[in-house]
Each structure stands twice: as C-alpha cells, then as structure tokens.
Amino acid sequence: MSEIESAKTRALDELAAAGDAKALEAWRIAWLGKKGFVTGLMKKLKELPREEKPAFGQAVNILKNELARAFETRTSVVAPARNASRRKIDITLPGARPERGGLHPITQMQGHMITCMRSLGFEVVEGPEIEDEFHNFNALNIPPNHPARSEADNFYLSDDLLLRSQTSTVQIRMMETRKPPLRIIAPGRVYRPDTVDASHHYMFHQLEGLAVDRGLTMKDLKTTLVLFFSGLFGEDVEIRLRPNFFPFTEPSAEVDVACTFCKGEGCSTCQNKGWIEMGGCGMVDPNVFAAVGIDPEEYTGFAFGLGIERLAMRRYGIPDIRLLTENDVRFLKQFR
C-alpha cells in the first residue's frame, strides 16, 4: 500500500514534466499501458492473502482512475497547442465555395416553352404516362386496325395498357372533364420503340397544346406557333408548316424549324434536309370532339405536339440527342 502512495506522487510529477505529445504518450505507456506500472500492481493480487485482496484491489483502481483523469487534463493543455501550430488558418484567404448544381437542359427548355405559352393564355396540365387504349388511340380517331397501334410501334404493358406514345392523351382527358373554351398545354415524357440516332430516341419529351373555342381556324394555329417560336428563338427564326396526315387532326401539318448547325445545307442532325422536324399540328378532327362529347358543329379547335429535346438542341446548339440522356457531368455542367 505504501508503494501505491509513493508511485502516485512519482507518476504525477513525471506527468507534469511531460511538455509534448511524445512525452505524454511515453508516460501513458509506462503507467497505464498493458505492461505499465498499474497493470503490474494488479498482477500482485494473486500473491496476497485473501483478506488483503479487497483493500489492495480498491487502492489500485483508485490510483488508475486518478492517473487517467490527470492524463486527460494534461493532454487537453499540451495537445491543442501542438495542433494549432500545425494547422494554422489564414482567415484572409477566400473561402472554398461548394460546387453549384443546375437544371438539366430539357428542364430548362421545358420551362422556357411553358413561359412562352402562358404568355399566350395557355394553362399547364398533366396526365398519366401509363395509358389505356381508349385515351391513347380510340378517342384520337385511331381505329383498332390502324398500324399505329401495332406492338412494333408501342410499349404495351398488357392487352389494354401501354406507355403513352404521345401527350395527345392529355387533351382527351381535359376535354372529357372540362367544357370549352379551353387553352391548355401538357408537357411530359412519351415512349416509342424508335431506333436511337442523332435525332431520335425511344424515350423523349413532348409539349402538347390544345385550344377549343368557337370560330378557331388554321390561321389561329399558325399565328400561335409563329408567336411561340419567335418568343423562344427570336424574331429571325424560320419555321414552316408542311402538309401531313394525323388521324386526330384535319387538316394536319408538320412543324419544321430551320437547322442551326448546317444553315440549310444538310447535316446528320437534320438528316441532310436543312430542316428539323419539331412535331405535328392541325385542326382537331370532328370525330375526336364526338368521342369526348363536344359538339363539332358549335366548336372548333387546334392542337400541336412539339418535341422538347429537338427544341433544346436547336436553342443550345446540341448536335446529338443522345447527349441529353448519357448523364455526362462534363456535358451537363455547361448548362448551370
């Protein structure tokens, strides 16, 4: 027991003399380590008579706890000075800013399109991406034997359900639940099993537009598209309406915009045509009105569907649609 008291005094004196981290670690090993002084005392318990063991064991534990607390106190005094000398901070230097993210170019393009159409009085609506055959085909005047309904041109999930092949399904749902006049746009994803190349993909985005009112004509459709593209690309943009056929519009047309990359000379992006197809448009077919309970003798309307990826490529100078889905950070950083 006298050895414990003298050891305590000696240990505390040595600890007070330890002035750096190396000396502190040496002290800890010598007194509290696995082969240190306190561990050696605990080993002497088995040599003592049974009646002396409790008092001796208690005294050793008290010594161990006191030395451990003293070590922590001394470390808190010595270690901070050591760390501060190694990690000095120059507060005059500018801070490191965290890297800033940004919106995907398709999201940005969709936002620009919505802004332009809202300025023309159109409301934004949405619809489901999984559709039934009535909304995707029947109500759009596409009969059961039409080749557009084949499995080669659609992603069927069951006999009656499929991933929508066009956002025109949303105009059917809106006309089912609302009465004219209507002016709506519906942005969203669509799916078609196309061969992927510089201007085609099996999953892409469309913005569907629909206006229904008394007395609307093809002139109103063309004026809307001219104002829309002028707001999107500037007044010098060149567009054309090329006659075409769609089951749900009559008359129908394709909307083309002059290719930015080749200036009309032809390239891989425009497939050597000088023009990039942006979507289709036309006057709503009377059979579509009849399918949703709107009187085609009282109301007329026009509709259009525009590819958001192709508009983004035109606006941002992107030569290949595949860049928009490859998620290359080096590419996406350009649009922050």
pLDDT above 60 (res 267): yes
Overall average pLDDT of the 108-116 stretch: 94
Given this model, what pLDDT does residue 156 score? 94
- Domain check: are 142 and 175 in the same one? yes
Q: Rounded to an integer, what distance in angstroms lies between the CA atom of residue 52 and that of residue 67?
A: 23
Maximum CA extent, the chain? 115
- Domain check: are 271 and 130 in the same one? yes
Q: Residue 289 domain-assigned?
A: yes
Given this model, what pLDDT does residue 223 score? 93
Q: Residue 154 domain-assigned?
A: yes
Q: Residue 8 domain-assigned?
A: yes
What is this structure's pTM? Answer: 0.66
- Domain check: are 39 and 79 in the same one? yes
- Domain check: are 35 and 137 in the same one? no
* C-alpha closest to that of 112 among 324, 279, 308: 308
Given this model, what pLDDT does residue 86 score? 54
- Domain check: are 174 and 211 in the same one? yes
pLDDT above 80 (res 260): no
Given this model, what pLDDT does residue 286 score? 95
Query: Per-residue pLDDT tens for 153-184?
Result: 999 999 889 999 999 999 999 999 999 999 99
Q: Residue 237 domain-assigned?
A: yes
269 within 8 A of 199, measured Cβ to Cβ:
yes
- Domain check: are 147 and 242 in the same one? yes
Whether omega before 251 lies within 30 degrees of 0, making that bond cis, reads: yes
- Domain check: are 21 and 145 in the same one? no
Strands, sheet with 130-132, edge to edge from the N-terminal-most edge strand: 130-132, 161-163, 155-156
CB burial of residue 36 (10 Å; 0-12, 13-18, 19+): middle
pLDDT above 70 (res 80): no
- Domain check: are 75 and 138 in the same one? no
Q: Residue 310 domain-assigned?
A: yes
- Domain check: are 76 and 125 in the same one? no
Task: Give CA 331 to chain center in angstroms.
Answer: 15
- Domain check: are 111 and 214 in the same one? yes
- CATH (domain of 144): 3.30.930.10
Domain that holds residue 82: 2-86
- Domain check: are 222 and 177 in the same one? yes
Number of domains in the chain: 2
- Domain check: are 68 and 161 in the same one? no
Q: Rounded to an integer, what distance in angstroms lies between the CA atom of residue 301 and that of residue 210?
A: 7
3-state secondary structure of 67: helix
Residue 285 token pair: 């077919």
Query: Per-residue pLDDT tens for 268-300?
Result: 767 777 888 888 999 999 999 999 999 999 999
Given this model, what pLDDT does residue 111 score? 94
Given this model, what pLDDT does residue 87 score? 58
